[in-house]
Amino acid sequence: MEMEQEKLSLCNDDVSSESAFHCSACHDDEEWSCANPIRGRAKFRSLSVSPALGSTKEFRRTRSLHGPCPVTTFGPKACMLQNPKTIMHIQDPASQRLTWNKPPKSVLVIKKIRDASLLQPFKELCVYLTEENNMIVYVEKKVLEDPAIVNDDNFGPVKKKFCTFREDYDDISNQIDFIICLGGDGTLLYASSLFQGSVPPVMAFHLGSLGFLTPFNFENFQSQVTQVIEGNAALVLRSRLKVKVVKEHREKKTLIQNGIEENGVISTSLEMEVGKQIMQYQVLNEVVVDRGPSSYLSNVDVFLDGHLITTVQGDGVIVSTPTGSTAYAAAAGASMIHPNVPAIMITPICPHSLSFRPIVVPAGVELKIMLSPDARNTAWVSFDGRKRQEVCHGDSISITTSCYPLPSICFRDPVSDWFESLAECLHWNVRKKQNHFAVEEEF
């Protein structure tokens, strides 16, 4: 009892102390605000690092090592069900459950393109959503251009009720209440790319090849979708990376309709400085910097909070989220991290060094990747396998944890779903059992 009172007193002292240390979701390059009012009011004691010998300036950290407070509102109507037992601003991942401010009315259905096996599940789901639940269904325009859907007269009345959009042309971020994915892990990555801010809850059905991020089977989709609509579902918040690419020389581009440019970058994420072009992305899996078509080693410098920590000499480097740790990073020899762990993983790709091991850094740090001054060639960067572009001398890639996670709906709970995916999809620690010793019979 005395220990509990002592801990409570310590927490209260920390919250009430005045300092220059703020939640990085409210004190960063952008003017973010905490969705949780408790978080917005909380203040934290600054942990000052002792100045180095001979230094005249004291170092004071202004960015939280734990990463930004994640936004707990997802799309126009969904939010996290608040747990009264939350300790300070850290909520037990096992208690994260979906709730709705208002009943959901609109749903985005994402279907894997050019997969004939998904046509029937897609039609059944859309009929159930529109006719049984009277919901507004959004689909991408190119999905409805499939000849099998165009020539299906029975599906025509349902198809007329759809709202369509085109990627990089139409902004639907404030019109979607939740998302349903039909396909593999790529559909979840695609859903993430459509929402550069707050992401609606995502329900992913395993209809692809691997399905590590898609826990639901389609056989009983009616009851499962109904539970989500009623707000009876567990959530796992998959952290994303906020990436800023600064390029020294800006090419001239022509604006086209709805604020979108020819290169597919949303103009609201594009800032102009003198002689510089700045682009921002929200990344769910990983940022990959590689040597591209060059036969030379990639030679890039990696900075952490402004300090050079290493130079990568090899095929490249992967900066991944915990969700991305089971993707390209795992293939490159990294450890696998549960998505509830606040962290960023740095994994070299075929480094020309026997001692260069993957490392995990706190979610709140800011990484910067630049070409080394001695690099013989340029590098290339991609974001979740998309938007691939060249990185030249003087360009920089800044990476930190975003305050906009992707709320993925769980089949059971975050822990059970993750270990089941490890076993079923990656066959983690699958080995033939060792035989026991035979017991000798005593005579």
Whether residue 277 sits in one domain with residue 391: yes
The two structure tokens encoding residue 269: 């994420």
Whether residue 300 sits in one domain with residue 200: no
The answer to whether 46 touches 21, Cβ cutoff 8 Å, is yes
Whether residue 277 sits in one domain with residue 152: no
Residue 127 maps to a domain: yes
CATH of the domain at 159: 3.40.50.10330
Residue 76 maps to a domain: no
Name the residue among 400, 395, 399 with its Cα closest to residue 379. Answer: 395
Q: Which residues of the chain have pLDDT under 70?
A: 1-67, 83-92, 249-274, 440-443
The two structure tokens encoding residue 248: 């020294």
Whole-Å CA distances, 424 to 141, 215, 427: 34, 11, 6
Whether residue 352 sits in one domain with residue 224: no
What is the residue-wise DSSP string for 246-272? EESSPPP--B-GGGBBTTS-BGGGEEE
Whether residue 227 sits in one domain with residue 102: yes
CA 347 centroid distance within chain: 17
Residue 21 maps to a domain: no
pLDDT of 260 reads 41
The answer to whether 402 touches 254, Cβ cutoff 8 Å, is no
What is the residue-wise DSSP string for 201-263? -EEEEE-SS--TT--B-STTHHHHHHHHHTT--BEEEE--EEEEEEESSPPP--B-GGGBBTT
Q: What predicted TM-score, i.e. pTM, was given to this entire model?
A: 0.76
> What angle, 0 to 180 degrees and rounded to 10, lies between the N-to-C axes of helices 221-229 and 119-127?
50
pLDDT of 49 reads 37
Whether residue 165 sits in one domain with residue 281: no
Whether residue 295 sits in one domain with residue 148: no
Residue 39 maps to a domain: no
Q: Of the residues 169, 204, 231, which one is the last residue of a structural domain?
A: 231
Whether residue 364 sits in one domain with residue 310: yes
Q: Residues with catalytic annotation?
A: 185
Residue 25 maps to a domain: no
Residue 308's domain spans which residues?
A: 241-250+272-403
Report the chain's C-alpha Rg in angstroms: 24
Q: How many helices (H) and strands (E) does the chain have?
A: 9, 23
Name the residue among 127, 83, 87 with its Cα closest to residue 109. Answer: 127
Residue 188 maps to a domain: yes
Residue 432 maps to a domain: no
Whether residue 227 sits in one domain with residue 104: yes
- Rounded CA separation 191/91 (Å): 25
The answer to whether 103 touches 67, Cβ cutoff 8 Å, is no
pLDDT of 354 reads 93
Whether residue 226 sits in one domain with residue 136: yes
CATH of the domain at 295: 2.60.200.30
CA 115 centroid distance within chain: 25
DSSP state of 429: T
pLDDT of 272 reads 54
- Rounded CA separation 33/19 (Å): 18
Residue 193 maps to a domain: yes
Whether residue 287 sits in one domain with residue 206: no
Domain count, the chain: 2
Whether residue 345 sits in one domain with residue 278: yes
